[in-house]
A and B are shown apart, each in its own frame.
Chain A
């Protein structure tokens, strides 16, 4: 008789890693966030940065002996940028993990249902057709990008449905077809746009230049609602790793669950894309990194991926704005340039199945 026969010990071995792992990860993300607020193209002494932030939350605690411009840089430039990067990173990573589970496909990313091409078309139309943003109180680009993304996913859903069922293969194929179609349209709009093509390409590359609190508040409700659904229902993604018929025999309404998860993932992706453009790689790789460390159980994978995605994106954006300062590197370049080799390194070290 071994130790495990009577106790529950063997069942929890993987889970025992989860709580300390979560704490370490949360600590890392917080540290990265603090680091990101402390550094930028404008050199501000780190203690001053912290004094400014503390003073903002507890007014009068520290005497303000810094110029107001520094306070503006910290509070209205860096802080919203770091927070927005974190939100977007966590949205893309969580959506990526969801789609990988939903489609049982390790190559799935947040853009698999056509969100990116829909958003891109919306943004291009906004940039080309509504050029005089000065007349509008806020830029129309995020709103139209969001609308484009949602419409694209709706089209994919309607085209991918077969007799009230939602088979994964038709859904993926519909995603590819709608994506190509919208990309073609987008190219056409870009050509029509003449010299505004530069603006469109800048948007397509994605990033957090000019991030502000308005964008944070724009994105936050979608992210919170979507993330809540994904994390609450995420454990059922485990059941979706089985064939549909087996999942039904375990009491799961497969089609309804798939729709709920696909829509939630699409919403948070659309919200992320609307404020930051199309940032690749994070949604594909971060879920795999977390899977390598914590195992494939979606119950823990989803919250941990959301956390890790935030940290990864904040770090990537810090690199993007400081490495070649004052020139900013597009953050998508950083995520792919640094994340790619790092991911391959981990894969090589593991030498085993990862999905």
Chain B
């Protein structure tokens, strides 16, 4: 097992490096195709001369490699990696250190993810188990249909509708009924308040969790069905074991494997969803920062955040791989 972990970590480092390289190559190509390297960093804004100079210096944009389309520009890449290794991720348009921004924003994203994961697990386990237990009945079909519809609803649309159509009336109502500083008022406030981070994150988190829960419900249902009907469950029953023992040690234990894998697989999507959610609800998390950065064409910030998020994804994938191996011994010995 230890060897497996080591191997995975080494692989992950390799993958991370490749990811950075790919991002770099694509960004470089984009810059080169753009024509004017430094201006590309400002989107459709007009930068001041000092801003332009700062960006050029920071990203080594005065390097001639940026004038030739197709040149991989490895020099600047290595320099930038070096800077990253030292914790220097650059600054945003207004000169604030990106690492600083991340330090403030990350906790909010983590809070969001906690709410989202709890929603997934709750909805998934409850509805999925019910659907599995009452397989073939109206409840099963009803749950599956609902989960299809929830799945279909793009997060973006869900949040848009909530934000622009429901949030204001709801928060007004909450303020009137419970008072302006009560919890419900904060729940429905369409924007983030960093003095009450949890309260203002709860509703967006639930909405995001809703939007992604269909996969979980389906997964829990399918894996429980497989487990209940599985031959090893029949063997366990043939030994006269209590149903509780069978369910715990043979059904739930076996279904936990695909659930964990699913968390890993959906993480990337969840991240995208988080960006949209934070952006639409003005939450000051990593996603929200990214969202505003794109709106403001602050490309340096976009690049920094995307790099960091990519690293986070790699990290999450290792953790999931390890959990998967811990749960399913067949994986450890490959």
Q: Do A and B come from one complex?
A: no
